[in-house]
Amino acid sequence: KPEFEKASVDQYTIVDGRSREVELLCPVAASNPPAVLFTFYREGNELNDPSKYNVTMDKYHKWAKLRIFDVDEEDLDEYRCEVNNGKAKSTMTIHLKETSMKNVIIKNNEHSFIRS
């Protein structure tokens, strides 16, 4: 069964009316066999609108990221990353929250990134 370092994480973005993107990271700590599929969900629905979302993963299938375009208040929500290794599935929850410019901190170990 795929395993995560944490089952739930908080990630932050700025909502200021500018055209900003945010990347939600979904790193797999261990999986035997290796992960073959990553799927992101919001409110139970798979995120597959290419004008709003883009999913990429590394070639060794150890992580995936969901890029959200033109972030606004409606995007502040709970997201789920489902990892499938062909035998079992696991899910990580990502809570996307708002922060202000004065609170911007890049925290690699917490997987929180702010991009403008």
Among 18-22, 56-60, 87-91, 104-108, which is the least confidently predicted range? 104-108
User: How high is the mean pLDDT of the chain?
Assistant: 87
The reported pTM is: 0.83
Q: Is 88 helix (H, G, I), strand (E, B) or coil?
A: coil
- Tokens, residue 50: 């290419």
The yes-or-no verdict on residue 109 having pLDDT over 70 is no
CATH 2.60.40.10 corresponds to the domain 8-110? yes
| pLDDT one-digit tens code per residue, 44-66 | 999 999 999 999 998 676 899 99
Strands (DSSP E) found in the chain: 8-14, 22-27, 37-42, 45-46, 53-57, 63-68, 78-84, 89-99
* pLDDT band, very low/low/confident/very high, at 31 (cuts 50, 70, 90): very high
